[in-house]
Structure 1
């Protein structure tokens, strides 16, 4: 530890004695200086001890001179004063003793035989040993952090070890300002914790990489954002500490680096899982539910049991990492299986029909509107997804908040295309086309053409074919079905047939 007045008094070879100890003699001293200036404060830093022989005090100086002198020292953070006797005068001036006692400044007497440089060298040696000890501690603490990062706990182990090494509280927040980890466990909950959470929220809302030290009660907290400048991942708070010295700051920096690496690795894994989920959604839409279930089971995320409810949430331009993190956390923390995937501007998730209560929980977690299908088996997933999408469109049109369930009011007339007898009638009507070798391609060309408002240029670019080739295929489709596609009624019938075919 740094030198103190008590340790100086215990150094018998120096012969220093205490004159008045109205203040604490156990406060750490960062340096010892000597000067006989009447006002040395411009040349002093906080937490110093000052040595003087008293030449600045004229013979017969009033008590006010001494009071003002001591007041200047204490106002500038001087920890203690040492008076060298028998150099200018014998003994310590009574006015100086009274002034130090009144200001609560420890005063010691330095005998003539002890040069000031001996006291300064003693303090310097103490500070060097302290710095060396702190460096050794920092190195060992960083090694402990590195070893903890290798365990299965990852980030949480690193934060727990950081809290143990600094004997403080370590709190991690996600990009939305939500607490994701606290060490020691259960240490969050005081009024000061509320102030900490508010300060973290302010820092995250700025959207910039930053670090700030704040005072919470009698202690301090250091808050550092996590992530890059354009992608803030959250924040780490080291709370209930004194001002961190260089050694402690190096340990915090090492922990931040380990956390950053762990988060990047976690992100890479999350991106892989998100890609898998998106591909599994495509498999479900295309009717390959068995293959999707096998893949999700292999990554320990089996699909919910049938019958299921398909839910779509339209996040649009509000989609961001904080929103997705909130949704992901709700999915993981809740009970029961939930399949979750991103599809463009939508979140699509699946829950078992028996677990319907989870829908409100999931929707409320992201604070958006949602559409919910009727119960369906995976063989009817495409139909369920269409129902959820139309229910969502109804919610957006009507301004209805929360989850809107699919029914005849939300489905409208187009919802009749999902009826089994309509789908069978459409399939029978399209049978002559499907018997052609390129029948499915013809149907796809007709569908894309209609989806592009029957415009040849945009549709051909979407399909990657020349517009003359697309025109020939659509005309051939019209000939097989005996439809006049120059008339609105013919185009409407083709669209209804293809819509029913795709929703079957």
Structure 2
């Protein structure tokens, strides 16, 4: 709350009276000083209660106006005017000037020594400081529990509540991992977003230019750079209207230490956590999700509580195993919870609802794959998102990431998927039988030919055979399936069936 001029006036033992500047009674006092100097303002820094007997008060109104204006400009909390010595009452023109400036003008009666005011303020400030440290000792364990149970987002929320300021955690690339705004209106929220843009611009300029305090017209932004053995791992940004106090800085330092410790999490703890998250994710994909599991899975959601499922397909299960490690490392580098599940050649990943194709490609770290991105959903639609992601992956070409929602593909339509389901193995059974008996992979041959729009050179290169071999295989396929691939409708139907079925990547 702070120690205000109004609080001081409410202390009956001091018998203080407010003679002017009532509009400024909510000004906070950080100390009390005594001075009879007319130019005292040049020795002050703001927040002081200045006590004077008016011994050198200018004799004219113009001089008194300059005197009070200089004190108001430097930002003192108020002026205590002692009566009963040089002046029996507070001069009337001084009262008018104080009212005009909104600067509290207090009358200090003769029996009250200035030292009594200073002592009361010191006691009050000491009580406040003790209360702040007490709150800090309670906040620190709460912050520790938060990062253990909810990771960085929970820590950010706890720190924001303890400081009563907006807080954000930004990764080393300048991407916002988590943010909690204390702004109470749209305008305040926009100011917070502007402050975050400012911090991200500093990060883009270079890590060494980031840590410290930046004061703008609307914000005071405190940024704590967080380092680990590998270098900078992120930044804590605290956004408020005034600089942090000593206790607040202690809490920010504690939060930074917790983030550093989490980044350096012991190997066996990380392995156990990954195994638990994989199991929870696997159960959720089978439609089993307890309330506690929903809380954990919710850590992967964006600020709106939405997620998406990605399905990657790799050339072999061995490649998929390596990809799990790569994807997990990429998620961890982005300060994301790792929900990754491997099924043979397939790797299923839970990402944020606002993630796009570029993020999906980046998580794979350059590995050869094809992938599908499911629709944005809440946790209740997790299974459906996974199904559509798998459908999208089946429709992708080598190295492609398909988002059926943004491409507008008919394969994103449930009725189309239902109609195609099961046709793959039935319609293409003769070709699958040849492959299973050790013969040529006519399924892959047909797909390559159709995706090349019947262009022999392109299709032969994709399938990896000579064009004469390709012509021979296509003729064999036409006989086995009883179709004419010169017919456009036949080609379209077969391609849809191919895209709907399981198959190894090209």
TM-score (norm 1): 0.57
Within the candidate set 350, 362, 368, 1:348 is matched to 368
Change (3 A) 1:233 1:421: farther
In the alignment, the residues of structure 1 paired with residue 354 and residue 368 of structure 2 have an alpha-carbon distance, to the nearest angstrom, of 15
1:169 lines up with 2:166 in the alignment: yes
Aligned residue runs from structure 1 range 466-485, under 5 A:
none
In the alignment, the residues of structure 2 paired with residue 57 and residue 260 of structure 1 have an alpha-carbon distance, to the nearest angstrom, of 57
Give the CA deviation at 1:106.
Answer: 0.9
RMSD of Structure 2 on Structure 1 (CA): 5.1
Uncovered stretches (5+) of structure 1, i.e. residues with no partner: 274-283, 309-326, 366-375, 388-403, 424-503
In the alignment, the residues of structure 2 paired with residue 188 and residue 115 of structure 1 have an alpha-carbon distance, to the nearest angstrom, of 46
Q: Is the 8 A contact 1:416 1:422 kept in 2?
A: no
Q: Hey, what does 1:56 align to over in structure 2?
A: 56
In the alignment, the residues of structure 1 paired with residue 401 and residue 155 of structure 2 have an alpha-carbon distance, to the nearest angstrom, of 35
Aligned residue runs from structure 1 range 297-308, under 5 A:
301-303=341-343
Give the CA deviation at 1:96.
Answer: 2.0
Q: Hey, what does 1:12 align to over in structure 2?
A: 12
Q: Is the 8 A contact 1:138 1:247 kept in 2?
A: yes
Aligned residue runs from structure 1 range 142-221, under 5 A:
142-151=140-149, 153-183=150-180, 190-209=189-208, 210-214=210-214, 218-221=218-221
Uncovered stretches (5+) of structure 2, i.e. residues with no partner: 275-313, 328-338, 373-389, 407-430, 446-450, 471-505
Paired residues in the alignment total 359
Change (3 A) 1:236 1:90: same
In the alignment, the residues of structure 2 paired with residue 33 and residue 120 of structure 1 have an alpha-carbon distance, to the nearest angstrom, of 8
Change (3 A) 1:339 1:81: closer
Aligned residue runs from structure 1 range 95-494, under 5 A:
95-151=93-149, 153-183=150-180, 190-209=189-208, 210-214=210-214, 218-227=218-227, 231-240=231-240, 242-265=242-265, 301-303=341-343, 346-351=366-371, 354-356=391-393, 359-360=400-401, 417-418=464-465
Give the CA deviation at 1:74.
Answer: 0.6
In the alignment, the residues of structure 2 paired with residue 291 and residue 137 of structure 1 have an alpha-carbon distance, to the nearest angstrom, of 47
Change (3 A) 1:349 1:22: same
Change (3 A) 1:339 1:220: closer
In the alignment, the residues of structure 2 paired with residue 285 and residue 16 of structure 1 have an alpha-carbon distance, to the nearest angstrom, of 83
In the alignment, the residues of structure 1 paired with residue 185 and residue 343 of structure 2 have an alpha-carbon distance, to the nearest angstrom, of 36
Give the CA deviation at 1:206.
Answer: 1.9
Change (3 A) 1:162 1:410: farther
TM-score (norm 2): 0.57
Report the 3-state secondary structure (helix = DSSP H, G, I; strand = E; otherwise coil) of the residue aligned with 1:347: coil
> Whose Rg is larger?
1
In the alignment, the residues of structure 1 paired with residue 356 and residue 68 of structure 2 have an alpha-carbon distance, to the nearest angstrom, of 64
Q: Hey, what does 2:417 align to over in structure 1?
A: none
Change (3 A) 1:294 1:330: closer
